[in-house]
Amino acid sequence: MSRNRLNKKAKIIQFGDEYPDLFVFSPFRSEDNWTNDEPSRLFTFPQGDGGYDFNDAQNPLDIKVMTKRFVLGSNCVMHDYLSNSNFCGLDIDCRNESGYLRLMKDYMYRTLRGTKASGGKKRLYVMMEDGTIRYTWARAVAIPYENFSDTDEKWIPFVVDFEVADSYLYSINDGVTFSVSEYDSGRLVCGLKELTVLPDLTIEPNTSICNPKSCEDPPMIVRDESLLGYVGDVCGVAECSIDPCFEAQFGLWYQANGSIDVEVLVRGSAGSTRPQFGFWGAFNAPSATNDENSHFFQYNNSIAADEYLIIDLNSANTGEAADMTIDTNIGGFDVADININNNGLFELVYGYNTLAVTGGLGAASIFATKQVDKYHN
């Protein structure tokens, strides 16, 4: 199947998502598209959380350059700069309409460069034509420079090139991604370490941006597990006592009394990551079997009413449960009690997957699952 037919127009909206090391692009009237015409060749790229091993010599990757044309400027930042006496600690009497651009310049350079530890690699977020948001792994390779010393402009056009070595775009419904529509732009630009408008954080399960601020700045996407405690009561289960709460982490959960069937839809043109499973409450030898391919997961022991087991089946390519990310409070837990077929690589297929879940011992037995869809870019 040709991957070229999967191309769709997309515009880059943000680089990075870990506050404060992220750059939000102001809206621009036209955007460049990118294609899959680049030849495949090996490329060494730092491995990142949510990605796969880019150094695997058996998986040559397409290197793409995605160009973003944008205007460096912000109605919100300019307004705050001219009216807020505490903006970045600068004397309000010495400001003019173009002076805020020096701060925007520093913000742009600081966040596009990235850090030495990451090799400059961060999540690059794009908005598709249908309004959904996806991300890939990239780094800025052509960062614009300009002399700001004598400018009297309020906005300045720039071009930046991003080098993309990941073959996929990923959906962002990963349980810890938030859209912040109202935020303190001064603290973002000044590079301080905290958000000041936490109550406005909301989970965006549909990954659409619909409500920009009135002064035309776009929302900010934040991926930070520490912010989960500030989004209010999102659990929906009265007995919720673990942190993070199942609904905050998974988005969906199911009462698993006895045996139930859970339908999971994979929409990605490249399928999805392997799922993360959670069992919470009373279970006896809980299991989940994918009826589409007979792949199964089983924990060959019991879970008490106040215990839980969360395992990320996508966190290790070895297939060994001992190498996977596991969160549990089960007394005497032994990873040897976990059995995963298909050499430990539990997979979902494109389309609908019916998971047969067994082992629940009551109405308070909860099963949760999530995966991240992957799209060819």
The angle that helices 100-113 and 75-83 make with each other, rounded to 10 degrees, is: 130
What Rg value do the Cα atoms of the chain yield, rounded? 23
Check residue 145 and give its pLDDT: 77
- Right CATH number for 246-376 from 3.40.50, 2.60.40, 2.40.10, 2.60.120? 2.60.120
- φ/ψ of 4, rounded to 5, equals -65, -30
Nearest to 13 by CA among 187, 205, 165, 172: 172
Give pLDDT, residue 96.
Answer: 81
Two tokens, residue 354:
């019916």
**123: which 2 tokens?**
């999540």
Taking the CB of residue 317, how many other CB atoms lie within 10 A of it? Answer: 13
Give the Å distances, CA to CA, from 90 to 58, 103, 216.
54, 11, 24
Model pLDDT, residue 56? 47
- Do 68 and 159 touch, CB atoms closer than 8 A? yes
Could you tell me if 104 and 73 are in contact, meaning their C-beta atoms sit under 8 angstroms apart?
yes
Strand order across the beta sheet in which 254-255 lies: 254-255, 366-370, 276-280, 308-312, 325-328
Q: What is the dihedral angle through the alpha carbons of 109, 111, 116, 120, rounded to the nearest 10 degrees?
A: -100
User: 4-170 is classed in which CATH architecture?
Assistant: Beta Barrel (2.40)
pTM of the model: 0.73
Phi and psi, residue 352, nearest 5°: -85, 135
Burial class (CB in 10 A: 0-12, 13-18, 19+), 81: buried
> pLDDT tens, position by position, for the chain (377 residues)?
233 333 467 788 899 988 778 898 877 666 655 544 444 444 444 444 433 444 444 444 557 788 888 888 888 888 888 888 778 777 777 788 888 888 888 889 888 987 666 678 899 998 887 778 889 989 998 888 766 665 677 888 888 988 887 878 898 866 567 777 666 677 778 865 444 443 334 434 333 333 334 456 677 887 765 544 433 333 333 444 444 445 556 767 788 999 999 999 998 988 999 999 999 889 999 999 999 999 999 999 999 988 989 999 999 888 899 999 998 999 999 999 999 998 889 999 999 999 999 999 988 898 999 898 998 87
From-to residues of CATH 2.60.120 in the chain:
246-376
Q: How far is 365 from 377, CA to CA, in rounded Å?
A: 39
How many angstroms separate the CA atoms of 255 and 366, rounded? 5
- Angle, vertex CA 315, rays to CA 362 and CA 17, nearest 5: 100
pLDDT at position 355 is 96
* CATH 2.40.30 location in the chain: 4-170
